[in-house]
């Protein structure tokens, strides 16, 4: 639904002068600034579909790779020695485990939640617990699967595994197989994933991904879809074909938005 001039002042206040400041300066029109703001958000939403697919594909490729490499079912939380996670990854895994338990607990009926008190009663402290303490104690007795924990880990975790800290322990012995072409280096993969991660982070915080940052992100996406899990770079991998319409669509959206923004810049010269 279109908004009228009577709505502009109210919408500008809700979106904030700070968010609209650069657009207001560029266009000289609060209404046009609001329109461009919404167009930018729609572009980010379309780009997020592409990034989300990349994230899902990457984490599944890494999980399959490391599960085979470590050869144990609970490799994420108890990887076989001598390998150990660095502190940041340990913390992320612990937080993901707790988050998976919270999600599972929230889905339980009140009867099922109360049934978890049996484990608490065995400690002899059930009557002295506050509501918050009781919930935390109940969650300790919930079992979650490796897959549920994996689902709680973000792109930050997966891209960290391609960092220099894991060059010896993961990249050289196994993760190289996720980007198997002989000329691709760990640093190259890490750099491209970082670009995708930074774009994802900006989108999650409702910040624009435009111009150079947008095209760098699309270039990084192309690198991943053309090189992940294939021996030779290929523009027609299954992942590339899956995302082809989405990538084409987001490119058209970006071209249209950039053209509108550039028109205002040219008129100001």
Per-residue tokens: 48? 């997020």
**What Rg value do the Cα atoms of the chain yield, rounded?**
24
pLDDT of 20: 95
Domain ranges of the chain: 47-268
Residue 168 DSSP class: I
CA–chain centroid gap for 181, Å, is: 25
pLDDT of 123: 55
pTM (predicted TM-score)? 0.90
The torsion angles phi and psi of 29, rounded to 5 degrees, stand at -140, 120
pLDDT of 242: 98
Locus of tokens 């991904």: 209
pLDDT averaged over 10-residue windows placed end to end, the chain, 269 residues: 80 94 94 96 98 98 97 94 96 95 86 73 61 75 89 97 98 98 98 98 97 98 98 96 98 98 80
pLDDT of 122: 57
């Amino acid at each position: 639904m279109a908004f009228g001039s009577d709505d502009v002042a109210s919408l500008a206040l809700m979106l904030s002068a700070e968010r609209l400041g650069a657009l207001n300066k560029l266009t000289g029109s609060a209404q046009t600034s609001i329109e461009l703001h919404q167009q930018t958000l729609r572009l980010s939403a379309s780009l997020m579909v592409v990034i989300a697919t990349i994230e899902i594909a990457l984490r599944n490729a890494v999980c399959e790779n490391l599960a085979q490499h470590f050869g144990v079912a609970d490799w994420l939380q108890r990887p076989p020695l001598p390998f150990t996670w660095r502190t940041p990854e340990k913390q992320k895994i612990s937080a993901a485990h707790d988050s998976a338990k919270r999600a599972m607990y929230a889905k339980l009926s009140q009867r099922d939640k109360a049934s978890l008190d049996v484990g608490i009663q065995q400690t002899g402290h059930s009557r002295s617990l506050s509501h918050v303490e009781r919930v935390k104690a109940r969650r300790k007795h919930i079992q979650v699967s490796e897959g549920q924990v994996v689902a709680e880990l973000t792109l930050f975790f997966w891209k960290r595994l391609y960092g220099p800290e894991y060059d010896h322990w993961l990249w050289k012995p196994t993760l190289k197989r996720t980007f198997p072409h002989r000329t691709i280096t760990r640093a190259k993969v890490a750099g491209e994933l970082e670009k995708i991660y930074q774009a994802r982070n900006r989108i999650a915080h409702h910040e624009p991904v435009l111009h150079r940052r947008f095209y760098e992100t699309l270039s990084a996406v192309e690198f991943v879809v053309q090189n992940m899990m294939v021996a030779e770079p290929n523009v027609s991998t299954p992942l590339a074909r899956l995302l082809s319409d989405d990538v084409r669509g987001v490119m058209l959206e970006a071209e249209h938005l950039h053209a509108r923004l550039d028109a205002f810049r040219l008129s100001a010269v």
